[in-house]
């Protein structure tokens, strides 16, 4: 366990500093490991992942119970309320829409039904429009490759194409993933252009009537079960000023086998076109004879679901902040099947428990120079909505936020010799993390699956897109006694069996030592940042967010 000596200067010492007398200094030991409790982490994870919380869906009874539990735990940990009006809650208003069972989406080939979407095995669909009924009629299909417009890469899949009234069909991930060309986009590492969020948004900007993504397990990095489980049932969104008019009328996914049948019916080869679309010069391809008809009936309402925030005031620079973030929500209760509660124990009761534990440790260690804020955000599973809301309406100024640490889904793999950094090579926070790891004989390990785009799939990206340097770190894979093969197999089992499934449950047999290890490391990292008032880590040169941070810091220093 690492120790650090802190010097606390009393008010009397500050007066004495003006004279020739030596400054009296009070010292105390901070034992970072001793201040993180595995039993407290386990207690909070178990409570948040219990059936009583009913899967913690935003706006649900279980979600409200979870938010109140987090606020109560923050208060018990000694954190000051940092939400609205002196409370722990930052209220977020969300729309909640549920597609009615009588809704239909049919893809026809030369007038004959080819695909009748069943919202389960072959296709899922929804709308971001706020209307009770949305219709799409006789919409021609066109394949637009990856559905990407990326000027910095000289790439435009929509070039010369008018998609008004049409349905665009596109691939998941980036061209670089398919070609393994490190000079194409970011090679195998997914960029934001590879995310489904971007693809649907871009289709709306282009004026398409509907947008469909072809699911393929390897480039998506998750199975069809995740698609069908995540995009059916009640769906949340931020309240949009335009009522969703900027989005296509229909958004959806089709299973790979279904997509192959569609391309075959149009006289096209999906494999050949996929290969062509990953190379410079690709042009969109019409899908002859295919058309889409859909009627979406939905109930639309608004629900309130808060971000929960507490903090510790700094001693000498209280207007500067270190941010910790984790999402508290999960997928809720499907109401069907023998086990129908999506408990979300790993995802993300672990991260939520960790930021509360770190907040308590900050208080017990003694307030550092800078302030710290701990934010449990809502609606991550619905598209990073709670963190997006926070980024637009931050509880503390983003220009005064020194750095942020996001904790999402710590695997109970046990202690490891490494710690994973998602999006490795992004910011100077990684250098500070290396300094914390070195005395422990540990190392940073880059994300083993950069093609999955995990850096763009968790809440830190909402702050990164504003310029705030963020770190997303997770448990390592090189187990201290069982090695890397064990750690890799452990993670694979979770992704294949538990991720976004009711099987993501807390078990008393969990090895909490690794969760404690990660929490302790991230506590020390944030505490060091908070207690060094001259340290303002930035994005590395060349990072896509560096200019945003530079502009933010320049503007702030000029005020």
Which is nearest to 477 in space by CA: 415, 520, 426?
Answer: 415
Q: What is the pLDDT of residues 6-31, one digit of tens each?
A: 333 333 333 333 333 433 333 336 78
What is the predicted pLDDT for the residue at 559? 52
Mean pLDDT of the 490-516 span: 95
What is the predicted pLDDT for the residue at 8? 34
Cite the DSSP H helix spans in 287-419. Answer: 350-365, 385-392
Residues 6+ apart with CB under 8 A from 400: 319, 320, 321, 556
* Angle of CA points 101, 347, 198, to nearest 5°: 65
3-state secondary structure 86-105: HCCEECCEEEEEEECCCCEE
What is the predicted pLDDT for the residue at 188? 86
Mean predicted lDDT score pLDDT of the chain: 92
Mean pLDDT of the 28-35 span: 79
Lowest mean pLDDT among 285-294, 335-344, 513-522: 335-344
CB distance 75 to 87 below 8 Å? no
pLDDT band at 89 (very low <50, low <70, confident <90, very high): very high
What is the predicted pLDDT for the residue at 25? 32
d(CA 144, CA 277): 8
Q: Domain residues of the chain, as ranges?
A: 1-31, 43-92+306-557, 97-301
CB distance 242 to 128 below 8 Å? no
Mean pLDDT of the 41-46 span: 98
Mean pLDDT of the 135-147 span: 98
Tokens of 60: 């649900």
Q: Report the predicted TM-score, pTM, of the whole model to 2 decimal places.
A: 0.82
Q: What is the pLDDT of residues 450-484, one digit of tens each?
A: 878 888 889 999 999 999 999 999 999 999 999 99
pLDDT higher for 152 or 317? Answer: 317
What is the predicted pLDDT for the residue at 28? 39
Q: What is the pLDDT of residues 358-375, one digit of tens each?
A: 999 999 999 999 999 999
What is the predicted pLDDT for the residue at 558? 61
Calculate the alpha carbon distances from 208 to 13, 32, 211 in Å. 68, 54, 7
What is the predicted pLDDT for the residue at 189? 85
Q: Is 179 helix (H, G, I), strand (E, B) or coil?
A: helix
Which is nearest to 386 in space by CA: 467, 300, 458?
Answer: 458
% of the chain exceeding 70 in pLDDT: 94
pLDDT band at 445 (very low <50, low <70, confident <90, very high): very high
**CATH fold of the domain at 97-301:** Glucose Oxidase; domain 1 (3.50.30)
Lowest mean pLDDT among 49-53, 257-261, 464-468, 539-543: 539-543
* pLDDT greater than 60 at residue 230: yes
The separation between the first and the last C-alpha atoms of the chain, rounded to the nearest angstrom, is 42
What is the predicted pLDDT for the residue at 536? 96
What is the predicted pLDDT for the residue at 129? 93
Decide which of 3.40.50.2300, 3.40.630.10, 3.20.20.30, 3.30.1370.100 is the CATH code for 43-92+306-557: 3.40.630.10
Q: Is 7 helix (H, G, I), strand (E, B) or coil?
A: strand
Mean pLDDT of the 206-234 span: 93
What is the predicted pLDDT for the residue at 29? 64
């Amino acid at each position: 366990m690492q120790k650090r000596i802190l010097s606390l200067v009393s008010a009397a010492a500050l007066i004495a500093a003006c004279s020739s007398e030596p400054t009296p200094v009070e010292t105390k030991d901070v034992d970072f490991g001793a201040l993180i409790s595995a039993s407290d982490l386990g207690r909070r994870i178990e409570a948040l992942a219990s059936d009583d919380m009913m899967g913690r869906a935003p706006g649900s009874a279980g979600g409200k119970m979870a938010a109140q539990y987090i606020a109560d735990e923050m208060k018990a940990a000694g954190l000051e309320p940092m939400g609205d009006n002196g409370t722990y809650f930052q209220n977020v208003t969300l729309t909640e829409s549920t597609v009615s069972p009588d809704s239909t989406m049919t893809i026809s080939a030369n007038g004959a039904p080819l695909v009748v979407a069943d919202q389960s095995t072959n296709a899922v669909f929804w709308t971001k429009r706020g209307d009770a009924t949305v219709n799409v009629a006789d919409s021609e299909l066109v394949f637009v490759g990856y559905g990407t417009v990326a000027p910095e890469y000289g790439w435009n899949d929509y070039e010369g194409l008018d998609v008004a009234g049409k349905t665009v069909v596109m691939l998941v991930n980036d061209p670089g993933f398919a070609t393994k060309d490190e000079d194409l986009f970011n090679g195998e590492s997914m960029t934001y252009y590879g995310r489904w969020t971007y693809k649907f948004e871009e289709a709306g900007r282009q004026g398409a009537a509907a947008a469909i993504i072809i699911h393929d397990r390897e480039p998506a990095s998750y199975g069809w079960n995740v698609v069908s489980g995540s995009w059916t049932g009640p769906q949340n969104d931020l309240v949009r000023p335009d009522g969703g008019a900027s989005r296509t009328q229909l958004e959806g996914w089709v299973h790979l086998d279904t997509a192959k049948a569609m391309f075959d019916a149009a006289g096209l080869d999906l494999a050949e076109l996929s290969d062509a679309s990953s190379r410079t010069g690709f042009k969109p391809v019409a899908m002859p004879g295919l058309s889409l008809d859909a009627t979406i009936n939905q109930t639309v309402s608004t629900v309130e679901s808060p971000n929960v925030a507490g903090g510790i005031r700094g001693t000498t620079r209280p207007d500067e902040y270190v941010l910790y973030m984790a999402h508290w929500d999960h997928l809720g209760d499907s109401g069907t099947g023998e086990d129908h509660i999506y408990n979300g124990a790993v995802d993300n009761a672990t991260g939520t428990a960790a930021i509360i534990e770190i907040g308590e440790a900050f208080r017990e260690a003694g307030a550092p120079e800078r302030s710290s804020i701990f934010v449990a955000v809502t609606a991550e599973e619905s598209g990073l909505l709670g963190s997006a809301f926070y980024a637009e309406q931050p509880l503390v100024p983003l220009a005064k936020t020194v750095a942020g640490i996001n904790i999402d889904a710590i695997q109970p793999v046990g202690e490891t010799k490494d710690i994973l950094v998602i999006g490795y090579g992004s910011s100077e926070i990684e250098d500070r993390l290396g300094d914390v790891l070195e005395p422990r004989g540990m190392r940073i390990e880059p994300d083993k699956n950069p093609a999955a785009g995990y850096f763009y799939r968790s809440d830190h990206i909402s702050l990164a897109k504003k310029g705030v340097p963020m770190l997303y770190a997770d448990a390592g894979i090189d187990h201290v006694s069982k090695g890397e093969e064990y750690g890799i197999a452990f993670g694979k089992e979770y992704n294949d069996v538990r991720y976004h499934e009711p099987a993501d449950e807390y078990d008393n047999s969990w090895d909490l030592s690794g969760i404690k290890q990660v929490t302790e490391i991230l506590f020390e990292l944030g505490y060091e940042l908070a207690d060094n008032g001259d340290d303002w880590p930035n994005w590395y040169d060349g990072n896509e967010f560096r200019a945003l941070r530079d502009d933010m810091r320049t503007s702030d220093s000029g005020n």
